[in-house]
Amino acid sequence: MTTPFEPASVVAARQLATEAHEAHRSPTLLRTRAGARRVAVARARRDAAAGWTEVPVAG
């Protein structure tokens, strides 16, 4: 169960675990996920610099 707001670290950990689970299935997926991970890390750093500590959960 998720809450309306979760710490960014929890969201990132869940995303990385999902990516690690899915990446072994396809080299193309691995490259795509690596690019998405770089974007997510850059976004998290930008948000942290702006003072954001939580991210809204979609849904």
Mean pLDDT by 10 residues, the chain (59 residues): 67 75 66 75 78 60
pLDDT of residue 55: 58
Q: CA-CA distance, 13 to 4, in Å (whole number)?
A: 17
According to DSSP, the residues that pair with 54 across neighbouring strands are: 7
Q: CA-CA distance, 24 to 12, in Å (whole number)?
A: 19
pLDDT of residue 10: 76
The answer to pTM > 0.75 is no
